[in-house]
Structure 1
Amino acid sequence: MPFVIAPRLLKTILSLGIALGVAFAPSIAAAQATIQTQATWALLMDADTQSVLFEKNADQLMSPASMAKIMTAELVFKELKDGKLKLDDTMVISENAWRKGGAPSSGSKMFAALHSHVRVEDLLRGLIVQSGNDAAIALAEGLAGSEDVFATMMTKRARELGMRDSTFTNSWGRFDPQQKVTARDLAKLANYVIKTYPDYYKYFGETEFTWNKIRQLNRNPLLTMNIGADGLKTGNIDDSGFGLVGSAVENGQRLILVINGVKTARDRSEEARKLLNWGMRAFDSKNIFAAGEVVGSAKVYGGNIGSVDLVTELPVRVLVPRGSSERLTGRIVYTGPLIPPIRQGDEVARLRVFRGNVQAFDAPLKAATDVATGSLNQRALDAGMEYFSGLIRKYVFKS
């Protein structure tokens, strides 16, 4: 069924919109009037609330270049966390990995020797710190047997993480017209990696790595700017220009930045610094709901009760630009009506808060109580109500 909002829930949403309609923030277009970027694609996001502070062509497809290696790293991190792989395990540098990504190639590399056995941890550092194409291919072959199979795994995993628009065809960022991502998807991936793999995310903050007696510096310019940066990856190919996925923490607030399509490495550094500094200083935090607070309710079909209260597990906090006045509005979205049995704590809906037409917050809502299957009479009554509701939607509200 399509998303359905019950009448009682609609009242809740209207109340939420009024409650949030205090002098908070302008639309993102007004906020962005104070900041511009040379980048063709860009997105700046608060990691905690996932509030979008700035965006430019954030949903348009682009070539990720070596930023694709964040997806490669995530798959390796998952295998490590699940206990299917160990840092001391070794993988072979095949002729394919050596020839395409190693010493004979012109791209970035960790200079792993042909047919050598390299520890997974060293390959990860080669992948992340040195942006080694040979390391990326070796990890792909070690986990999946071939680059093509691994690329399929990358795209499948991207969908699991909610990266709706991104497709991967190789593990190291080689140009391929089919390998495309969006800035929004890369920001979502970065946020997931940071929160899910703290033990492995640290590699993104290492400033150098030496392999085969060759010392190489991390290409991420943010790490040396003294702005609290601790990751993630740069990229550069002719098709998309210079890009970067970065993250920085200041006074407990973490921002995630994606830019791409900048003309030079120097411009990339300055644009990234500018946007991060602006994001840290141009916004205030507004608390809307406390953790565990009832936000609204959702209609239940065939249950022992007609609706279930919805609660948020974490505090709802939204970042809003300073010194303006536009209302925030909220929506509770679910596919419904909900079908029992429903257990307390089940994720059954989402709360979305908008600043103008920009989604500033999105979080799951959970059932506050158990809902059991209702009696035969209750189910029959609900069936009749849903049937007539369907007729009204079809014949009265049809376009």
Structure 2
Amino acid sequence: MLARSRFFTRIFCLFLCLLTISGTAALADTGTPTPLLPIPPAPGLPAIRSYALMDYSTGQVIAAKSEHMKLAPASLTKLMTAYLTYQSLQGGTLTLNEQIPISNTAWKAGGSSMFVQPGLPVTVDQLLHGLLIDSGNDAAVALAEAVGGSQSGFVTLMNDAAQRLGLTDTHYSNVDGLPDPNLYTSALDVALLSRALLQQYPQITKITVEKSYTYNKITQRSWNPVLFRDPTADGLKTGLTDASGYCIDATALRNGRRLIAVVMGGPSWSGSTNAVEALLDYGYRFFVNHPVYQAGQKVGEITRADLSPMQVPVGVAQAVSITAPKGRFSQVKTQLQLNPGLQAPVQKGQAVGVLVFTLDGKVLKTVPAVALESAGKAGWLGRLFNKARQSL
């Protein structure tokens, strides 16, 4: 009798367990989505006057603080000096192994130095190392004279390049970054220039990743403290004057993805380095890149009675990716905005509008939209026929 009672007790307990499991499954199958954790705000960094964090691939600004504030750049100026030097190398007016004569002006340049001297052999490659690792003002002057003929001529080239690159917050007045009221830039412009450098002249990181450089038996440690903190960092430049504070333009490559972090007006090298690392960690931890369109892919069309043919496919000339917070890509909205002033005829590849990506009402990215096919101007009979088709 006791055994039978135990048997029924076990059966009853098993029945209760099955009911519990069934109820739990039913709750799990309600279709209620699991709420996403919100992305935390960008680091405040109160000790930093201005900063910008940019994704290299998409060009999007992930986080920023007073990114348009015009500030003294100090030796971040040498980024443009390097850019124009690489441009001359690409154009063939200079070669890396070419020896550059050192003027008395370059020799006597004040501030940081790679210690070049008149009559002492030095190549363009050595000067680039001295410019980017030692932050040598003498190297900057020597390269400026070699590329532009004079420092004033080179400054003109610097401002012309800044205008072409869309550096609207920037004006150059010298080649080395020594204090001058007419020398200024912004964290956003430094990021834009850095991206252009990395895109057009990626070999720069073979220099900027080095932690020291030796010229004429003098070894100098790199000014970039991020290199000694972060093994994924491989550039780019620093700057320091009383007016600028501690500025760092850093770039890092983690798991195949590159970010650019610019901090300006920091209180110390350690403070600016901590800020750079906080920004890099934020960008890598909470944001990811998503491919959206392939080059030449259609995104919409133009339908106009004055075109022949009336319908013209519209797409993107280059592959498009966007940077979005993790888990939020599905909520990104895309809108094709056609140029209201577009006139016939339309040529293949012609910019006809923009493609705008938004999230929570904020613009993430804007890319040009182009005609994927050509269309002529319709005659009066063609326009009449097209209007009749539109009315159907």
Normalised by the length of structure 2, the TM-score is: 0.81
SS in 2 for 1:361: strand
The corresponding residue for 2:99 is 90
Per-residue deviation, 1:300: 6.9
* Match runs of 1:341-356 below 5 Å: 341-356=345-360
1:74 partnered with 2:83: yes
Q: Within 5 A, what are the aligned runs for 1:262-273?
A: 262-273=266-277
Match of 2:164 among 160, 163, 174: 160
Aligned to 1:172: 176
Separation of aligned partners in 2, 1:357 and 1:165: 26
Q: CA deviation at 1:329?
A: 4.0
Pick from 7, 30, 44 the counterpart of residue 36 of structure 1: 44
Task: Report the Cα distance in structure 2 between the residues aligned to 1:146 and 1:87, rounded to whole angstroms.
Answer: 20
Letter in 2 for 1:205: V
Residue identity in the other structure for 2:62: L
Aligned-partner Cα distance in 2 for 1:379–1:116: 74
Q: Distance in 2 between matches of 1:238 and 1:279?
A: 30
Matched with 2:366 is 362
Separation in structure 2 between the aligned mates of residue 25 and residue 238 of structure 1, nearest angstrom: 45
Distance 2:171 2:338 in 1: 27
Stretch deviating more after TM superposition (107-116 or 65-74):
107-116
Counterpart amino acid of residue 89 in structure 1: E
1:256 is matched with which residue?
Answer: 260
Q: Deviation string for 1:297-319 (max 9, x for gaps)?
A: 45779643455322124443322
Quick check: 1:90–1:120 contact (8 Å CA) kept in 2?
Answer: yes
In structure 2, the residue matched to 1:205 is 209
- State the 1:333 CA deviation: 5.1
Distance in 2, matches of 1:274 and 1:193, equals: 24
1:85–1:34 CA distance, 2 compared to 1 (3 A): closer
Is the 1:130–1:209 contact (alpha carbons within 8 Å) kept by the matching residues of 2?
yes
Call closer, same or farther: CA 1:337–1:257 in 2, change over 3 Å: same
**What's the offset of the Cα at 1:88?**
1.7
Amino acid at match of 1:85: L
Higher relative contact order (CA 8 A, sep 6+): 1
Query: Is there any run of 5+ residues in structure 1 with no aligned partner, and where?
Result: 1-22, 383-399
* Secondary structure of residue in 1 paired with 2:376: coil
CA shift for structure 1 position 125: 0.8
The whole-number CA distance in structure 2 between the counterparts of 1:128 and 1:96 is 20
Inter-CA distance 357–175: structure 2 relative to 1 (3 Å threshold): farther
Cα deviation, residue 356, structure 1 = 4.3
8 A Cα contact 1:24 1:326, kept in partner: no
Shift in alpha-carbon separation, 1:204–1:379, aligned structure 2, 3 A: farther
For 2:248, give the aligned amino acid.
L
Structure 2, unaligned runs of 5 or more? 1-33, 387-392
Q: Please point out which of 127, 130, 149 is paired with 2:153.
A: 149
Residue 78 of structure 1: how far off its partner (Å): 0.9
Contact 2:42–2:282 under 8 Å retained in 1: no
* DSSP-derived class of the 2:308 partner: coil
Rounded to whole Å, the distance in 1 between the matches of 2:305 and 2:101 is 56
Tell me how far apart the structure 2 counterparts of residues 214 and 229 of structure 1 sit (CA, whole Å): 25
| C-alpha distance in 1 between matches for 2:372 and 2:36 | 31
Change (3 A) 1:48 1:25: farther
When residues 122 and 343 of structure 1 are mapped into structure 2, their CA distance, relative to the original with a 3 A threshold, is same
Q: Please, which of 206, 211, 218 is the counterpart of residue 214 of structure 1?
A: 218
Aligned residue number for residue 285 of structure 1? 289
Q: Percent identity?
A: 31
Residue 179 (structure 1) shift: 1.1
Matches within 5 A, 1:53-68: 53-68=62-77
Larger radius of gyration, structure 1 or 2? 2
Aligned-residue Cα RMSD (Å) equals 3.0
- Aligned partner of 2:20 in structure 1 is none
Taking a change above 3 Å as real, the CA distance of residues 325 and 342 of structure 1, as seen in their structure-2 partners, is: closer
**Among residues 302, 308, 325, which one is paired with 1:304 in the alignment?**
308
- One-letter identity of the residue aligned with 1:50: G
CA deviation digits over 1:367-391, x for unaligned, max 9? 2112234436669999xxxxxxxxx
Q: Which secondary structure state, in structure 2, belongs to the residue aligned with residue 360 of structure 1?
A: strand
Deviates more, 1:303-312 or 1:132-141: 303-312
